[in-house]
Structure 1
Amino acid sequence: MTDDEDRLRRGLRDLAQGDAPAGGAMGVETLLAKGRRARAHRRGAAVACAVVLTVAGAGLGLRATGPGPRTPDSRASVAAAPADQPLELGPAVARIGVGYPYDLVRSCGLRFAVFDGSKWVTDTDLASTIALRGDRVSGSMTLVSKDVARFEMGSGSLKETADFHRVSGGGHCPLLPPANPAKPPVLEQSPANAVEGFWYPHDLIVHCGLRFAQFDGRWWVTVRDYAKETGIDGSGRYVFVTGFIRKTGDRAQFDSPGLKPIEFRPAKDGEEPPVCS
C-alpha cells in the first residue's frame, strides 16, 4: 500500500468518526483528490507491467490468443513431414478404437493406405484441402470398425479427417491406374519409372523368400538377410507382403505395417531370383 493510500484511509476514518480537521468540505475534496491520484498511479503501474509482459511475450514467441485464420501456409506446415524417416504405418494387427501414428503417401493423392494387414481407400479428397509438401502427410489412423479406418491430422480449425474402407486386390492407387482397367492387377506394383524420394504402394512377392524385388524397371536385392527378424523365409507362410517402396540414390527401402524397414540395393549381373514353386 502506498503512503497516499494510507493517508486516504486514515482521513476517511477520521471523517466517519467526526475527528476531521476544520474545513470539512475542503478536507473531503482533498482526500478524494488524493484517492484519484492513488488510483491513477496504480493504473499507470498496471499499464507499464502489461507493456513489459507484451514485449517479453513477443521476444519469447508466446501467444495468448487462439489460432488465426486458416491460410495456405498454415495448412502446409501441418502437412509437412521429415522425408528421411521411415513411414509410420501402425502395427500388423490394429485394435479397434486405438489411434496409431500414420503417414499417408503423397504419390497416391492421400487416398490409399496400408493398415492392419490390409489395403484401404477413401473417397475423401484430402489433397484439395491440404497443401502438400514432402513425400507424406502425418496424422493418426484408427480402426473404427472391421472395415472402416479413420485418418485424422491437425487440430482445431486445421483438423482434417477421412474414412478409409478395406479393399482387396491391386490397382487402388488413383495416380497409378492399371494398364488395362478391364483387368485390374492382383498385386500393387509401383511404376517402372519411379520418382526418387517418393513412396509407392508395392506388394513384395516373398513366396520364394525375402530376397529380391522388382521395382523401377529393374531387379533389387536385399542388403542383408532379413528372414530371421521378419519370419519371411520362403516356407510359403507368406506369399506377398503389402507396403510401400522408395528409392534414394542406389538404395530402395520397403516399409510395411509391423515390420522394420527392409533395404535393397540394385542387383548385379547374374543376381536373379531363384526358380521356385
Structure 2
Amino acid sequence: MDDSDALLRLRRGLRDLAGGDRGAGAGPAPVATVVARGRRIRHLRRSLAAGAATLLVAGGSVLVVRGEDAPAPPSGPTAGPVTPTRPYDGKYAPQPPSGAHDPLDTGPRRPAEGVRYRYDLSAVCDLRYAVFGGRVWELADGGSSVAVRWADDRMRGFMSWTDGVRSRSEPDTAVFETETPTALPALRFRPLAGPAPECLGAEPERRYGDAPAATLGPERPERNVRYPYDMTKECGTRYAVFAGRLWRAQSEGRTETHVDWANELPLAAFMTLTSERTAVLEWPAGAEETPRTTTYSPVEARSGDCG
C-alpha cells in the first residue's frame, strides 16, 4: 500500500466516524471526551459573554463595561418561579433576580409603602427615569452624578417608596438599591413633573408581581457593610435569618413597638455583620427620627415560644 492509499483510507475512516449515526457519546473514548469538553468550554464562553459585567464606581459615577459579544436579549415570556436554595424565615420566600432574557422586574402596580420589590432599572434612559407603582419617577439629582455604559439591558436591584406627606418629606420618594451597596449607593427618585420621556417607549417588556423581594442579604456578608434586608413579622421579629444562620434578638420587646402590623409583608430594613457573633438590624427612620436598631446573636434553633 502506497502513501496515497493510506491517506485515502485515513480520510474515509475519519469521514465515517464524523458522519456515523452513533453520536459523539458512542465514539472512541478520547474523541467523545474531547467533544464533550469542547461543548462545555463553548457553553461557558457563551454564558460569560452574555452575562459578564464589570461595575466600577469613582467619584459618585457608575461605569458598566459592555462585553462585545453580549447578545441583545429578546422580549419573551416571564420565567417560571425559582426555588430559593437558602433558608428563609417567614411567609415570603426570597425572590430571585431576573434572567438575561426575562422581562424587566417592575414590582406591583400598587406597591405597599416601605416594602422592597425586585426591580430592574432599564438601560434606555441611563438611570434617569423609572416606572414603578403606576407612576413615572425621575432621579432626584437630575442624573448629573451618574454616567453609565451598559453590559446588559438592565441593572438589577430593589425598589421601595415612602409617602412624602406622612414622613414630612416632599415629595414622595422611591429608592433603588442593589444587593452590593459598596458598588452602587442607593439612588433616590421623585415623581416626574410633566410628560413621560420618549426613551421609556424603547424599554424591553416589563413584568409585574405582588411578591416582595424578601431579601436576606448575601450568604457571606462582609463585616461592617450595611446590606438591604427584609425583616419578617413572624415571632414578633425576635428571629432573623442572615448569612445562612439563625439569629435571635438580644433584647426582646424593643423592636416590636416599631412594627407596622397592618399586613404580613416584610419590612425594608438593613442588616450589618459587626462581628462573628453580632449582627445589627437597622429600621427605617424619618428625617427627624432617631435610627432604630436591634442587636442579634446566633442561635442553633428557635425556642419553644416561637415554633
**TM-score normalised by length of structure 1:** 0.35
TM-score normalised by the chain length of structure 2: 0.32
Larger radius of gyration: 1
